Amino acid sequence: MSKVRVGIVGASGYSGSVAARLVAGHPGLTLAFATSDKLSGQPVMQHLGVRVDDKLRYVANGAALEQGDACDAVMLATAADISMRLAPAFAERGKQVVDFSGAFRLDAASYPRWYGLEHAAPAWLARAHYGLPELFGTPAAGAIVSNPGCYPTASLLAIAPLVREGLVEEVGIVVDAKSGVTGAGKQSGEAFSFAEYADDVRAYKLLAHQHSPEIVRALSRWVRPGGTIKLTFTAHYLPIKRGLFATCYARPRPGATAERVAACLAEAYAKTPFVRAMAPAEVTLKRVVGTNYCHVGATADEDVVIAVGAIDNLLKGAAGQALQNLNLLNGLDECAGLDGLAPVSP
């Protein structure tokens, strides 16, 4: 069986370079092209750290569409405004598209507020699949796969089953989440220097983070008749390279005991390869960083339900989940290319 040819647009950023390495090491995929303005013309193998065709060179980002004939699928590790243009163009050529940006995660009316721009391809929003496999299954053929954001991935995997089963109130949900600095992408300037980030924690985009409506939109699929999701989301950066931890708080509904909420998560993910339910105190970054796993846990008392989720923001929060979606699109083993990953902590 021939391998699926995959192109990576934006292959020198954090998530794009991880995606390129995963594709290069995948038994059923082959890296067809990789784009990067910074590395254009240079050998891909020189920078990737894994073996690929030694003739493969990075091409400029602006030449991505010209590479379309060389691939069957494309991963877009690009900003939302770029993905709005490239994703439909590749899809119209019959290519599978997995987009890492937020370009196809919301309704068209939400983009001016949350992304500061009008949506350039609103007709494609209805054809986008929100690619969180454990909650939304296999993407349909021909859909643009909108890979979820890292914060929504950890938050939704922790809290969504509790909303779905009616164990928490839909109003008053609070998500407090913290990520390693790679979640900001490759940035320059004083604000992103080591001296500024080390030994510090900072909240950012208060009441204005684009992942807030993304989480609300996903949870809204399970509201009770007449209900609505009301959520407060706050993102923070930690002085670590990678890893993301989300703590979700909600008001309990009748029946939401500590035993029941824990069992709810265990039942929801009993047959999923990458999400493991456990005691909340056992959910740590060290156990998931370097892997495509998400660890979740939940507990409750008469006043509050607390659910936690931990992921590697560059793997389950980005490139690993994108590969998981690509596996599903092509009828491959969902774990292919991902089951050999291991935690980086001793």
Among 242, 243, 211, CA closest to 311: 243
19-68 residue pLDDT tens: 999 999 999 999 999 999 999 999 888 888 777 888 889 999 999 999 99
> Which single residue is written with the structure tokens 């069992």?
263
Higher-confidence residue: 271 or 184?
271
What is the residue-averaged pLDDT of the chain? 94
Q: What is the residue type of 115?
A: Y
- Going by pLDDT thresholds of 50, 70 and 90, the confidence category of residue 191 is low
- Helix, coil or strand: residue 122: helix
pLDDT score recorded for residue 192: 66
Q: d(Cα 108, Cα 119) in Å, to the nearest integer? A: 6
Q: d(Cα 244, Cα 235) in Å, to the nearest integer? A: 10
Percent of the chain clearing pLDDT 90 (strictly above): 87
pLDDT score recorded for residue 188: 55
Angle of helix 150-164 versus helix 211-219 axis, rounded to 10: 30
pLDDT at 84 over 60: yes
> Which single residue is written with the structure tokens 């928490």?
168
| Mean pLDDT confidence for 137-147 | 96
Percent of the chain clearing pLDDT 70 (strictly above): 97
pLDDT score recorded for residue 147: 98
- Asked about 150 being catalytic, the answer comes back as yes
CA quadruple 66, 71, 74, 77: dihedral sign: negative
Both tokens assigned to 56: 């493969």
Provide the whole-model pTM.
Answer: 0.96
pLDDT score recorded for residue 283: 98
Phi, psi of 341 (to 5 degrees): -75, 145
pLDDT score recorded for residue 44: 87
Asked whether the beta carbons of 29 and 326 are under 8 A apart, the reply is yes
| Mean pLDDT confidence for 180-197 | 72
How many residues comprise the chain?
A: 346
Looking only at the bridges linking them, the beta strands covering 275-277 and 294-300 are parallel
Contact partners, residue 328, CB within 8 Å, separation at least 6? 133, 138, 139, 334
pLDDT score recorded for residue 224: 87
Phi, psi of 162 (to 5 degrees): -75, -35
- Active-site residue among 71, 150, 248, 264? 150
Alpha-carbon separation of residue 193 from 181, 189, 197, 198 (angstroms) = 10, 7, 6, 9
Which ranges of the chain does DSSP label H, i.e. alpha helix?
A: 14-24, 44-48, 80-92, 111-115, 133-136, 150-164, 194-197, 211-219, 258-268, 320-329
Burial 253-288 (b: 16+ CB within 10 A, else e): eeebbeebbbebbbebbeeebbbbbbebeebbbebb
Q: How far is CA 167 from the centre of its chain?
A: 25
User: Which residues share a beta bridge with 130?
Assistant: 146
pLDDT score recorded for residue 187: 61
242-265 residue pLDDT tens: 999 999 999 999 999 999 999 999
- DSSP character for 139? P
pLDDT at 70 over 60: yes
Q: Report the 10 Å Cβ neighbour count for 63.
A: 13
All domains in the chain, ordered by first residue: 4-147+316-329 (3.40.50.720), 151-313 (3.30.360.10)
- Helix, coil or strand: residue 248: strand
Q: d(Cα 320, Cα 212) in Å, to the nearest integer? A: 22
Phi, psi of 228 (to 5 degrees): -150, 145
